[in-house]
């Protein structure tokens, strides 16, 4: 399967995969504002969703989004497979969280979710896993949404990105439109974000219960992490390994797998 490398920085909200940083974004002078250190930053939930919606529209426009109507057989196959996998998610959960699960046709092993319910899975990750393991990854990412990890990461990125210069214009539940450079700056901030080990373990536990709710064997949460552990072992300790950031961002895979396996006993 031929996939396309992205030429800019990806959002880094994934729970069990790598933060993909494949390039640099040319930012305008607004980036310099990031060093000013805004101490206070308040934003409503409605504004967060509005900004997230705008951000994800930008991401989807600038990435090879897999669609079931695509004329490319490879892209269509990925979209069809993911749609089938996602169909196992209970309808009430989809409605409650406004879930929208789609794939990017790229070579990176990654997945992420945003506070608005958008979940994106990278095609290269799908190449490595079974359908139920992919569903486990989706459940893990949804876990970060439910626990507000994704929301908190987004707010933190806003706080340190160029967008914070617009803080004075934020209010009254009205989100100001973002420029390309502000969106790029936001992507860079999110690309450097990491969840804590506690957050990751909680998302693992959510993914485990999520699989049961979907009528699937919850052991697939552990085996999906096992796929990443195998990559880690294959990559070794080489500093220039393409998986280096994946494992530095998400350590203790063995402990997380062991914790999940204990739940299955």
Q: How is the chain split into domains, by residue range?
A: 29-264
Residue 168 has pLDDT above 90, yes or no: no
Beta-carbon contacts of 26 under 8 Å, excluding residues fewer than 6 positions away, are 181, 184
229 vs 90, more confident: 90
Q: What is the DSSP letter of 68?
A: T
Tell me if 112 sits within 8 A of 9, measured CB to CB: no
For the entire predicted model, the pTM comes to 0.79
Q: What is the DSSP letter of 147?
A: T
Could you give the residue numbers annotated as active site?
A: 141
Query: Quick one: pLDDT band at residue 116, thresholds 50, 70, 90?
Result: very high
Q: What is the mean pLDDT of residues 164-173?
A: 45
The predicted pLDDT at position 22 comes to 25
Residue 243 has pLDDT above 80, yes or no: no
Tell me if 99 sits within 8 A of 134, measured CB to CB: no
**Mean pLDDT, the chain, integer:** 77
Tell me if 18 sits within 8 A of 197, measured CB to CB: no
- Determine which of 97-106, 182-191, 194-203, 204-213 has the lowest per-residue pLDDT on average: 182-191
The predicted pLDDT at position 251 comes to 54
Q: What is the mean pLDDT of residues 204-232?
A: 95
DSSP result, 153-197: HHHHHHHHSGGGGGGGG-BTTBPPPPPHHHHHHHHHHHHT----H
DSSP-derived pairing of the beta strands 111-113 and 100-104 = unpaired
For residue 48, give Cα distances in angstroms to 30, 44, 66, 100, 107: 20, 6, 26, 17, 30
Highest mean pLDDT among 141-145, 196-200, 225-229: 141-145
Buried-state track 111-125, b at ≥16 Cβ within 10 A, e below 16? bbbbbbbbbbbbbbb
The predicted pLDDT at position 125 comes to 94
């Amino acid at each position: 399967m031929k996939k396309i490398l992205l030429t800019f920085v990806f959002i880094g909200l994934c729970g069990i995969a790598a933060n993909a940083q494949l390039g640099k974004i040319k930012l305008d002078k607004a980036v310099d504002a990031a060093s000013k250190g805004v101490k206070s930053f308040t934003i409503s939930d409605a504004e967060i969703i509005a900004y997230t919606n705008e951000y994800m529209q930008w991401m989807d426009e600038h990435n090879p989004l897999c669609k079931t109507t695509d004329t490319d057989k490879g892209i269509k196959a990925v979209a069809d497979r993911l749609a089938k996998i996602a169909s196992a998610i209970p309808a009430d959960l989809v409605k409650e969280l406004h879930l929208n699960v789609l794939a990017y046709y790229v070579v990176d092993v990654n997945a992420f979710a945003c506070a608005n319910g958008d979940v994106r899975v990278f095609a290269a990750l799908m190449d490595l896993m079974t359908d139920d393991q992919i569903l486990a990854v989706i459940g893990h990412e949804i876990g970060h949404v439910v626990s507000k990890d994704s929301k908190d990461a987004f707010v933190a990125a806003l706080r340190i990105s160029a967008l914070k210069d617009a803080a004075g214009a934020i209010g009254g539940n009205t989100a100001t439109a973002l420029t390309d450079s502000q969106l790029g700056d936001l992507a860079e901030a999110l690309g450097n974000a990491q969840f804590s080990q506690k957050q990751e373990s909680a998302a693992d536990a959510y993914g485990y219960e999520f699989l049961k709710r979907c009528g699937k064997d919850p052991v697939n949460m552990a085996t999906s992490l096992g796929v990443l552990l195998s990559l880690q072992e294959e990559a070794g300790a080489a500093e220039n390994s393409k998986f280096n950031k994946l494992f530095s961002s998400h350590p203790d895979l063995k402990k997380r797998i062991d914790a999940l396996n204990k739940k299955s006993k």
